[in-house]
A and B are shown apart, each in its own frame.
Chain A
Amino acid sequence: MENNSQQEVSWLKIDNAGLIYPSASSETWNNVFRVSAYLNDDVDAVVLQQALDTVILRYPHLNVSMRRGFFWYYFQTIEQKPKVAAEKDYPCRRMELNSKQHLFRVLYYKNKVSFETFHSLTDGTGAICFLNTLLGCYFNLLGKNINEKDLVINYKDKPSPEEIEDSFRRVADKSGTATRRSKKAYQVYGTPEPNGKLDVITLTLDAEKLHSVARKYDATITQFLVAAYAKAILNYQQFTIQKHRPVVISVPINLRKYYDTKTLRNFSSWIDIEYNAKNAEHEFSDLINLTKTQMAGVTKEYLQKNINTNVKTEKNFFVRIMPLIFKKMALQLSYKLFGENSYTTVLTNLGKISAPKEFESLVDRYECLLCKSIINGINVGVASFKNKITITFTSPIKEHLIERDFCRILKEFGLDIEVNTNIV
């Protein structure tokens, strides 16, 4: 925070994880993700706007627009109030960065409230926090009596500096750095949808049933889903010419579980789970074991090294003094070559959504949608609430064979699946 006053934040540096996104943005793409909540009743737009007007004051790090400095981008606080809007376009549309507008959208459609945000502002956990605070305020305005103290963030409290700190810079130390994987991973290609349209397919399952199936393999839901997803991609890869390339699934990790922090900004890392084409012939149990072995590598030491590497790069003298115009070119190139090329897809699991008890009778389910990537053809977001788990595939390509095969794999375990989509 660049202003010591607790209430007044005039400008903010972008956190370590968020630095790459404005530079990697292009005319047609930038990293926007969405979290949605399906309510049991239709949304009242007027009340939702009132709730947003109240809640935004509690989240000063969201009440900003993006500006260009000479060396880095930064966030500038803006005075205009954000507006809720009816959902009309396809999800996760590109966010306009160089305008004096907010870098998020609050959208409603029938019984659904969605929060779309540029990834430099916050991560999935921060986004869910905001959405739930917004819903808490919305329900209270409708007279539903939600106890604000049960929300992760009470919208009646004042924002604290710890909530908008860059925890990466605080926790980074000199204990060592990680070596980056530079091998090219298998990429899913297909017929692109016109005008950058994003196809969404959401599978809704019984969380308890899925959990019991995963337990049979002594695995967590994330490990089970990653293995099933890997199986589907490996099956698909057999019919392509890129058989020699490994399938790499990048799984984001919430660092708040490992470090003491209250930050609502980006604070996540990732692990790459790698499979080779020979794994396609293996039994599903072998794939799960392979996944579990690799995910066991997520230790505090591993995460610390990852954080140190990123912070060290940011603090590098030559990187710091490089004018933004050259920095942008270098970052854009490295993001394509070493960022997206090194993994096949992303599977993020927001886990069980933490919400007040009263939400159970008001909210049906949550969804998490990742945007398309520059290169990668498909991404997956998972969220669970009450007894429902949603697995959302987002893809800018017309073919949906991987999603179909993933469904088939889950059906083999006797799981019932409900599908919703924006494909018509």
Chain B
Amino acid sequence: MKHCDKCDVSIIDDISNCPLCGRDISDNQQVSQTFLCYPNNKTRNDKRNMAMNWLFWIVVVGTIISGIVELLIFKHYRYNFYVLTGAFLAIINIILPIKYRWSFSAISIVASLTLCAYILFLELFTHSFGWGVYYVIPLFLLFMTLYSLTIILIRNYYKRFEFVISLIIFSVLSLVLFLYNYLSKGIIWPSLVAFLTSVTCFIFLLIFRFKKVKQALEKSFFI
């Protein structure tokens, strides 16, 4: 053990300075064997967080630069709406989930909602209303419903019953789309198929996996 004469304390670790006063004790005669109670701590940055922070700023700066270039060359900002919304989607669906370690079920819900919103935006922006609301969004929701059911039914796949929540959200969205399309006298079969499939899946789960569905809802919505 070393000794700091200034603080009058014995120092167990084999270090060169007294941790209390900073005095040099490297020449100090050792009274007995010295130890190291801690590893030589090298402070490390969270590489994943750093990478995501960099990616975030690359996306933001890239979007701004492309906006400026478009304004200077084309004197309008039309094409950059695509860049801007694409960047927004990338941040919501890639950067945030990786940075905050979202669960797969959360990612599927957020990705579905943002993609549906993006399709709606494209429809309105390109003045070609119909294709998204009538076909793409309902069929996309149908696909996500079947995807969620598959995940739930695969055994020992981390017991992903959080996907039940996704299923409920997709069925509500399909129902809203169906009602909208029905009332606006649009094409209703894709949204009806999506809604009926999600409801059938949910009833199927209630019948055959009642205990687990109940548990998934209980833990997600307990107050």
Contact = CB atoms under 8 A, between A and B. Distances in A.
A418 B49 contact: no
Nearest to A97: B101
B210 to A, nearest CB: 15
A417 B39 contact: no
Contacts of B222: 13, 69, 71-72, 74
B110 interface: no
B101 A422 contact: no
Which applies to chain B's interface (DSSP): helix, strand, loop or mixed? loop
A418 B11 contact: yes
A90 B41 contact: yes
B15 interface: yes
Interface stretch (B30-38, B115-123, B125-133, B189-197): B30-38
Given A27-B49, A71-B221, A112 B20 contact: no
B220 A70 contact: yes
B100 A88 contact: no
A98 B37 contact: no
Q: How many A residues touch the partner, as a band?
A: 35 or more
Interface stretch (B2-10, B58-66, B84-92): B2-10
Contacts of A407: 7, 9, 20
B43 A403 contact: no
A86 B45 CA distance: 18
Nearest to A109: B39
Contact of B38 (A68, A98, A320, A422): A422
B220 A420 contact: no
Nearest to B43: A195
B49 A197 contact: no
B219 interface: yes
A419 B11 contact: yes
A417 B7 CA distance: 10
B12 interface: yes
A283 interface: no
Nearest to A11: B219
Nearest to A98: B101
Interface string A190-213: 000111110111111000000000
A2 interface: yes
B73 interface: no
7 contacts: A2-B219, A74-B222, A110-B36, A417-B8, A419-B10, A420-B37, A421-B38
Interface of A: 2, 10-11, 13, 27, 38, 67-72, 74, 76, 86-91, 96, 98-100, 109-110, 112, 193-197, 199-204, 320-321, 400, 403-404, 407-408, 411, 416-424
